[in-house]
Amino acid sequence: MVLIVVAMPHFNVITNVMILNSVGILSAVLQLAVNLVTRARKKILFITSISAFSLIIAGYVLFVLFHILEATNLKDENTELLIFIGLAIGGGVLVSLNWWENYSSLLKNNFLEKLTKDMKKCRNIITIISSVVRIVITAIVLGAYLRLQGLELSSILSISQNSKIMILSLFGIQVLSSALCHWFAVVACKMHAVRRGFVIPMWLASPAVLLAFVLCFGIPFHRLAQGNTTGSYTFALYCQNFISVNGSDVPAFTQLASDVTHQLCAQNAFLNGDTKGWIVLGSSVICWWLGLVLCTIYIWFHPYQRIARTNDLFVRRLYEGAFIDQSMLLNSRFHIPLKEKQARGNETVMVYLCATMWHETYSEIITIMISMFRLDKFRPKRSSHKDARFENHIYFDDAFKNMEGGKHRGVNDYVEMVVEVIKEVYT
């Protein structure tokens, strides 16, 4: 909540879209720890975990460097922005604690294992309590932030009617889209379409949103650049003369595109055409995204079962609506393949044959009985270590009938037919 409510409003839209990918930093560390504790020694997991952690840290470093360059070029000695940068980094690390339970049972720690078992027993109560606690903490953080900024709650509630409609519309869209995203993701995993129906769309969600915001800025600029006769129309000139996006019949889109442009033009890298700032900012968002991909790449190779229970697919029932894609990816159950013990060569294989019968004819019953006895007759008996034993079971549907003049029920003609067939085949 500190990350979203307090820190993110002070950064540009590109940073805000991609910084959410950094919440997988603790998951990368725990994956590495699990690999060391279980002694699985999976080289791919080592490489992906270390790479994910390194890329996310590199993204944070470049993020700080970008704002240092911005402050240096603007000769701004205000330290308030540094506080928000620290809150953003600290908030991202704290958010990553949400998915510790995904690795607790694999760390071979008695306290964590006992805590995980106790949580499973009272999962519903924990979910209700955590939801209430989230609401309370959100209210506390928001109230404290307003006080620190010298604002009153009445100043927020006294916004224009159009702004209220916009905020409520965005809130409704966010709630609906998050719920649908969660539902479709679960269905995709149950249908065994994990890669094409879950992993790839989640990986590409934040880059797609970032591309949409860039197009909101780039398309109007491209139109004006084509209409400029001087041939030297730059981003800096566009930002200096920008007032509002035109040419759209949708007021919401016009306002959104205008807000995006105002945020980007407020950055020195865009306003003055600082190529170095562009490179640093672009590198940071790429590092964050690659870190999330490598941190959750285990899902690509996870042996999911068809129509699996939701508890077997995801660890927590709750999802983070503010960053639904990262939440769903990091909430997917982590599985580390261990070396399977080789079966002992002196074990005898037991095969269970089961059949269901319902009003079969005599020829059908005798056919299946002959097949069962032939399997037992011609099984490999040369060596007891290479033998296979068969155990046959027949399940009857409608096997009893009411007896005339009696209080008890007896078997019907089909069961008696099976008994006669067994005698005939066996003898």
What are the tens digits of pLDDT across the range 73-82?
766 666 777 8
Higher local confidence (pLDDT), 263 or 414? 414
- In this predicted structure, what is the pLDDT of residue 345? 56
CA angle 233, 237, 242 (to 5 degrees): 115
pLDDT of residue 247: 60
User: Is residue 113 a contact partner of residue 105, using CB atoms and an 8 Å limit?
Assistant: yes
Most confident of 126-140, 286-300, 302-316: 286-300
Under a CB-based contact definition with an 8 Å cutoff, are residues 315 and 101 in contact? Answer: yes
Q: Which of 172, 34, 54 has the alpha carbon at shortest distance from 104?
A: 34
Give the count of beta carbons closer than 10 Å to the beta carbon of residue 203.
20
Which comes out higher in pLDDT, residue 276 or 207?
Answer: 207
How far apart, in Å, do the first and last CA atoms of the chain sit? 78
Q: Are 389 and 350 in contact (CB under 8 A)?
A: yes
**Up-side HSE of residue 281: CA atoms within 13 Å toward CB?**
23
| Interval 181-203 mean pLDDT | 89
**pLDDT on residue 202:** 92
The answer to whether the CB of 55 falls within 8 A of the CB of 288 is yes
Task: Please give the C-alpha separations between residue 383 and each of 64, 308, 350, 387, 390, in angstroms, as whole numbers.
Answer: 71, 40, 15, 6, 16
Q: Count the alpha carbons within 13 Å of 319 in the hemisphere toward its beta carbon.
A: 25
Positive/negative CA dihedral, 19, 24, 26, 31: negative
Higher pLDDT, 179 or 342: 179
State the pLDDT at residue 338.
54
Residue 55 in this model has a pLDDT that exceeds 80: yes
pLDDT of 40 > 70? The answer is no
Q: What percent of the chain has pLDDT over 70?
A: 87
Q: Does residue 162 or residue 424 have the better pLDDT?
A: 424
**CA torsion angle for 163, 168, 173, 175 (degrees, to 10)?**
140
Across the range 303-309, mean pLDDT stands at: 76
- Contact (CB, 8 A) for 134 and 320: no
The position carrying tokens 């979910």 is 127
- The mean predicted confidence, pLDDT, of the chain is 81
**Torsion angle defined by CA atoms of residues 139, 140, 142 and 145, in that order, rounded to the nearest 10 degrees:** 170
247: left (phi over 0), alpha (psi -120 to 50) or beta: left
Higher pLDDT, 147 or 61: 61
Helices (H) and strands (E) in the chain, counts: 19, 4
The model's pLDDT over 240-276, given as tens digits with 9 standing for 90+, comes to: 777 666 666 666 677 777 777 777 777 777 767 677 8
* CA dist., res. 258 & res. 169, Å (int): 18
pLDDT at 200: 93
pLDDT, average across residues 293-311:
83
Asked if residue 325 has pLDDT above 60, the reply is yes
Pick 326 or 345 by higher pLDDT.
326
306 or 88, higher pLDDT: 88
pTM of the model: 0.71
Q: Return d(Cα 151, Cα 163) in angstroms, integer.
A: 18
pLDDT tens per residue, range 118-130: 888 888 888 888 8
User: What pLDDT is stored for residue 287 in this prediction?
Assistant: 93
For residue 34, give the H/E element and its range. helix 25-38
Residue 281 vs residue 244, higher pLDDT: 281
**What percentage of the chain has pLDDT greater than the value 90?**
8
The whole-number pLDDT of residue 58 equals: 93
Q: Say what angle helices 275-295 and 43-74 make with each other, to 10 degrees.
A: 150
The answer, yes or no, to whether residue 344 has pLDDT greater than 70, is no
Residue 296 CB neighbours (<10 A): 25
49 contacts 356 by C-beta, under 8 angstroms: no
The pLDDT of residue 292 is 92
Quote the CA–CA distance of 126 and 129 in Å, as a whole number.
5
Neighbours of 305 (CB within 10 A): 11
Q: Give 230 or 91, the one with higher predicted confidence.
A: 91
Contacts of 38-46 spanning 24+ positions with Cβ under 8 A: 38/106, 38/108, 38/336, 38/338, 40/336, 40/337, 40/338, 40/339, 42/336, 42/337, 45/298, 45/336
Does the pLDDT at position 65 exceed 80?
yes
pLDDT greater than 80 at residue 161 = no
Mean pLDDT, to the nearest integer, of 87-116?
Answer: 83
Please report the pLDDT score of residue 230 as a whole number. Answer: 66
